[in-house]
Amino acid sequence: MPSRTKPPVVVITGASQGIGAAIAAAFAGEIRGVRLALVARNRKNLAAVARSCTRLGAEAEAFACDVSDEAEVGRMAREVLHRFRRVDVLVNNAGRYVGGPFLETSVAEFDRMISANLRGLFLVTRAFAPGMVQRRCGDIFNMGSIAGISALAGAPAYTAAKFGVAGLTKSLRAEFKGVGIRVCCVHPGATVSPSWKGSGVPEGRMMPARDVAGAFVALYRMSRRTVVEEMVLRPQLGDL
């Protein structure tokens, strides 16, 4: 692990369940003294995750927020910065999945997919990136999907949103690489999480959430001379 003078402040969106909660636990368990700002809409679940991370040795606080709402993101960012003073690592994990054929996808549902998966990432990054630029140091890790690198039939809105995440990540990488900010997009395949509930895919054919979470910690631990621009994770037993 690279030498740092202070334990990092890590913001994780979508931290109330699934992969987001696993990412929080991974940082709490593996990075000594880490300070976690956990963000999600579900206050009850978020508080439970914060308590679990505290038991693992982290300093964790919950911040309820709908990341697709500009005003809420502004309020949340002010509260996080008031509490922790800075943000070193931003994990844009919040998202939503709803499938359905293109001809059955309404404009409203398309807008909701873009808002939850892409607009939220833009808003939260815009809130915290200025501080990283000012300090010339930081990490922005975005949650992509295999649907963002290979079209997923039956999920046009989600696929469009995740391709947008991949593109925005590349743009941020190009813009921020000269100011000490590492930007990466992680593209996981089928992972045991609420998003795959009811899919009919057996858990044995999916990745454990802790494995995906561990990838984010590994990205953070690398020397600041190194950045992984993209990472693709797939279940060993298939191409999901």
Concerning whether 158 is annotated as a catalytic residue, the answer is: yes
Rounded Cα–Cα distance for residues 166 and 218 (Å): 20
Partners of 138 in the beta sheet?
181
Return the amino acid letter for 239: D
CA dist list (Å): 130 to 11, 12, 89, 126: 15, 17, 13, 7
Q: Which of 128, 141, 158, 220 is catalytic?
A: 158
Instruction: Select from 6, 64, 63 the least CA-distant residue to 35.
Output: 6
Q: In the structure encoding, which two tokens stand for residue 35, read together?
A: 């300070």
Whether the Cβ atoms of residue 21 and residue 47 lie closer than 8 Å to each other? no
Strands (E), the chain: 9-13, 35-40, 59-64, 89-92, 138-143, 181-188, 230-233
Q: In the structure encoding, which two tokens stand for residue 119, read together?
A: 């607009």
**What residues contact 156, with CB distance under 8 A and at least 6 apart?**
101, 102, 105, 110
H or E element: which one contains 218?
A: helix 209-221
Q: Which residues are catalytic?
A: 158
